Amino acid sequence: MWITPKEILVSGPGFWQTERANRNFILQRRKGRGTKGFSSLLVGTWDSVLDTKPPPYRLLYQEEGSDIFLMIAACMSGQEALDDWAWLEKELLTKVDNFESPGETTDFVSGKIASIVAIHEVENIEANDGNDAGESSGYKAAKVKFHRVFGVVEDEKLVSYYSCTVWQGRIPAQGWLYLTVNHLAFYSFILGSETKILLRWTDVTDIERCGGVWLQDSLQVSTRQDQWVFSIFNKEGYDLIRQLANLGMRKLISEDSYHQDLNLLLKRSKNVPKKSFLKRDLDARKNTEAYRAKFCLPIEEKLDGKVECFLFTPFNKKYRFGTLYLSSNFGCFSSHVPGLVSLVIPLKNVNCVEKSSTNANHGNQDEAIVFSMKKGGKTFVFGQVSDRDFVVEKLCELLAKLKNENEDILSLSSGSGSLSMSQASGETGGASSGSTFQVVEPLMTIFRESVDLTTEAVKEILWEKHGAEFGTGISIYRTEETTSLISKGIPNKWRREIWMTFSGAVFDKQRNPGYYSALAESSLMVKSLANDEIERDLHRSLPEHPAFQANNKIGIEALRRVLSAYAARNPQIGYCQAMNIVSSVLLIYSSEEEAFWLLVAICERLLPDYYNTKVVGALVDQGVMDHLVLTHLPDLHAKISDLGMLHLISLSWFLTLFLSVMPYHTAVYVMDCFFYEGAKVIFQLALTILSRNSEFLLSCRDEGEAMMGLNRYFQTILRDEPEVIDPAKETPSVLISNLITEAFKMFESVTSEEIESLRLKHRLKVVQTLEDSQMKNVVRSVKQVTKFTEEEVRALYIVVKNEQLIRTGKGAANDPASQDKLDPSKPYFELYKVDYDTWRHVSGMCSKWANSEIWDVLAHRMFKIMDVKHDGFINFKDLLLLLDMMCGTDVQKKLKLLFCLHLPGVVLPGELETLREDNTEVAADATDFFTEAEISLGKTARYLMEAGEQQDEMADYGEKASLNSIQGWLIRTDSKLEMRKIPPLPQQYFVLLWKSLYALFMENNLLPETEEQQALYHSVSVVGTLLLQIGEVGQKFEKRKPLNLEEEVGKDVDDVDGAVDTKFEELQVEEKSAKPYDNDWSITFEQFLASILTEPALVDHFSEKVDLKDALKEYSSSGMKRLPSADTQDSSRSVFYV
């Protein structure tokens, strides 16, 4: 690679060895790069440890009579260096003699090389669309080295790299750690010892911090086979490893792959460290996820930036230090003191943003920003804003962009003094436009609850006072007072608004007007497994409430619509038990549409992955709970583990938000706090309940006794109504509000950040455990159809799974495997499929025929036959069957496969060599080509159908049906009867089969033939001659049959004129329809098999077994290099071998 000429110091032999030289140019190779000796060993170690990253080869220019050297090229391979050297001798060396002085020569050479470099840089910028912007030279060099050392595919992008030590036993290896979106890689070269590690994130089972003197601040990364300890001494590296591992687990759970946000390139930035675009994007993604979780914002919202400042709080006339966050639709503030004050400002409600130079309290100089709202005359003041001018410009950009959008989006009341939900949400009630059903209002307005009116009135007064002091609606000041008020319970009158506001569901509702009504109506008309499960659980949802009893249809119908609509919205989740209980309570206190959006918030943001088919989120939180019990209740941890209670806590308490263990009117207090504080509330409350019952639990003898005792305790938890408390009871009662307040205080150290960190750790274990179970299910589902060992099937499964992840990660949204995973009725082997690229590579590694010239053609025919759905994919079972035929020891199966691959219709007409003397091209016209192919395939299929004595009245033997019949015959059990059903090969097709047999044994024309190859060629020649003679004899015999048939027919015909000819023509047509081909020359499979079995050399060759596990060891953990290939769908119309 040519580089901009630069002066370097060349003194003595040093680290370089001269390979070629002339009067002006020198070609040198770096010692340690292919050279031998102790000095080369030292130089190689020096380069690896210090990561100087010098190129293996370099080209130098030396001015005549001068000691100055210019480095003009750096090459990564010897061939590249030789090519550049040849160009120098051809293009420059012949011209340097034309200059009068050495200085002019130097100027010419420097200018020529610099112009070439400039041209290449422009071409690279255009090719990369600016993706290399912000990449340092060190990063670019590391990227080149990573691809060179590990040989991964080109689209595998490097995120970052770090100096690192790997501990192997007690011996450390110093090198470099490379982190990509899909892999963790390590490379070290010390004193001739090379260490190379390449792991997929999807194979990582655990990431643990290590302690000790030598391993302080190290990470232990484990897979199913091994574990490694990495010392990076860089916190950013540790965080990035966790983030990338989490992305890998997300890919396994939902095949939700990482995609770059290219809009990041267009954003103006300030105070952003220089890093690769991928690293910037991942940092932005991590910050955005934390931002959305902190303020419960829509999942589409992306953080634009943040700045430290002070928020002026008018309710106490103070400034609170914190961080102002800006995104496309919101400005949010959070104090640095947790829980002190936070604020959410929809930018759609902002009238203008102004600079202010005056402090709101004492009038001193200040760098402030004032947000003026459109309604209510409300303002928000942010003081001492860093980089104020830049922040104001950014806000003006965001406001200008919003100005052009729909005015109805996010038109939320943030300054009104009323808590009326109808104003905040814009709901009109009644039937939606074009809808056939009536949207149900909160069921508590129809079925009145028995509540203490005095308690409700007190709560309403407290909330009115709070609203007057701290504001209402979206832009309420969220303070410690708000938290205290919510823990005491929200009044029923305003519960719907506060749930919608603090959960962020109100944003989704306002962004999607009419969405729910249309979805609910259409989803009920669809027959699906989810709808069947919903129908089964409807009457078991909340039977104690009159709205969900059999004699009332209002609640049942509304619940049916909500659950069906969500199942249609998110097919990956569909419907899960416990969703019906939660949705029932949502419908009591909120309208039908609000209940739907609250369910969306719970399933997709607040409790992610809880309600999918494997309840991954609940299992993950089971591990989180186990860790928290060990940390906060160590005396109880061992007992709870012995009792095995944690799975009941996560699947019963958490999944239903305590609704399954408490009366709903009590558990609704937990939901109040849950929508405000997030998931940490349920952990804090669970720890408090276990702590209160610790003495009882320690005395329990089994799980049943423990759960019954806890259930009795739950019956003593009451809502805040004084008259329900009976002091005379033996078991004292506890108010739910007091229990929640106690939980907040006792386990205040349990934060949302800690829970998210623990979720990542336990997600690795849970997901990999589920993956192991899935692998066992897949292996079990194909156990009876193959002779491969279980280890071989597992090895193949890992390859297929990894390739499917790569394929779906590239945006294959309509991948059949992804669609099949949504249908639980599908067999396990249908969930994993290979496309043609994967099949070509896997079969190439496993087959001994892969080096032959004919292999690509045969591989394509195999894929076409097994692709019975014509969607371009083969399921795992069919793949295994095909490999079993190729790699097993059964000679008959291998020959049957080869014979089948040369049947008419499988072989296209363009692949046949014509025997015409004029050598005219066969099927030159496309229409004739396709017609002939379809006729041949249809005849082959018809023969198979008739030979199988199947009464199929298909009028049209299309390509798909015909290939299906061939595939069905190919995988059936071999028997003499089955062999007789196989259609014979006509002469031209047999010749092609014979040539294929020759080609299978010819691996390289440039190398001399081995004795084994010569024996095989001789055997093929003998068998071919024998079969040709058999075919000739058969042809002569067939030629006599029409004459005999005509004589026999003539004897049976009366004196009616022309009757003989008519009858003969009819019988001749019937006979031709019974034969697949018009030519009488043919070879049957029985003849082909018997002839092959007479040659020991061929029998030995076809009896050789391939160990699938050993063959697949060549499969790199980085995946296969996927090349552009022909579309395999409807391949007979797109692939020609002429």
- Per-residue pLDDT of 545-577, as tens digits, reads 888 887 788 899 999 999 999 999 998 888 988
Alpha helix locations (H) across 575-715? 579-589, 592-601, 616-632, 634-643, 646-648, 664-677, 680-692, 694-699, 703-714
3-state secondary structure 40-57: HHHHHHHHHHHCCCCCCE
Residue 633: alpha-carbon gap to chain centroid: 38
Containing H/E element for 367?
strand 365-373
Answer for the pair 904, 1037: CB distance below 8 angstroms, yes or no.
no
Only one residue has tokens 């009757």, namely: 1059
Alpha helix locations (H) across 948-986? 959-971, 976-981
pLDDT band at 271 (very low <50, low <70, confident <90, very high): low
Integer Cα distance of 222 and 212 in angstroms: 18
Lowest mean pLDDT segment, chosen from 493-502, 561-570, 683-692, 856-865: 856-865
pLDDT band at 985 (very low <50, low <70, confident <90, very high): confident
Answer for the pair 962, 940: CB distance below 8 angstroms, yes or no.
yes
Chain segment 950-965, per-residue pLDDT in tens: 434 333 434 444 556 6
Residue 681 has pLDDT above 80, yes or no: yes
Residue 17: alpha-carbon gap to chain centroid: 48
Residue 387 has pLDDT above 60, yes or no: yes
Answer for the pair 383, 401: CB distance below 8 angstroms, yes or no.
no
Q: Once rounded to an integer, what is the mean pLDDT over residues 734-740?
A: 92
How much is the pLDDT for 870? 80
Answer for the pair 693, 710: CB distance below 8 angstroms, yes or no.
yes
Predicted model pTM = 0.77
Residue 588 or residue 983, greater confidence:
588
What number of CA atoms fall less than 13 Å from residue 33's CA on the CB side? 23
pLDDT band at 38 (very low <50, low <70, confident <90, very high): low
**Residues whose CB falls within 8 Å of the CB of residue 747, separated by 6 or more in sequence, listed in order:** 632, 683, 684, 687, 688
Burial of residue 707 (number of CB atoms within 10 Å: 0-12, 13-18, 19+): middle
Bridge partners of 62, per DSSP, are: 69
Distances 917 to 914, 920, 921, 928, 989 between C-alpha atoms, Å: 9, 8, 11, 20, 19
> What is the phi/psi pair of residue 436, to 5°?
-95, 0
How much is the pLDDT for 508? 93
Q: Once rounded to an integer, what is the mean pLDDT over residues 404-427?
A: 42
Q: Once rounded to an integer, what is the mean pLDDT over residues 105-128?
A: 75
pLDDT band at 609 (very low <50, low <70, confident <90, very high): confident
Residue 728 or residue 621, greater confidence:
621
Residue 952 or residue 484, greater confidence:
484
Tokens of 412: 């939320």
pLDDT band at 118 (very low <50, low <70, confident <90, very high): confident
Integer Cα distance of 781 and 694 in angstroms: 45
Distances 786 to 573, 827, 882, 884, 890 between C-alpha atoms, Å: 34, 16, 10, 6, 12
Instruction: Specify the 3-state DSSP secondary structure of 304.
Output: strand
- The sign one gets for the Cα dihedral 559, 565, 568, 574 is negative
How large a percentage of the chain has pLDDT more than 70?
75
- The sign one gets for the Cα dihedral 536, 538, 541, 545 is negative
Integer Cα distance of 88 and 1075 in angstroms: 69
Chain segment 633-648, per-residue pLDDT in tens: 999 999 888 888 888 7
Mean residue pLDDT of the chain comes to 79
Lowest mean pLDDT segment, chosen from 19-23, 382-386, 790-794: 19-23
Integer Cα distance of 863 and 882 in angstroms: 9
How much is the pLDDT for 977? 66
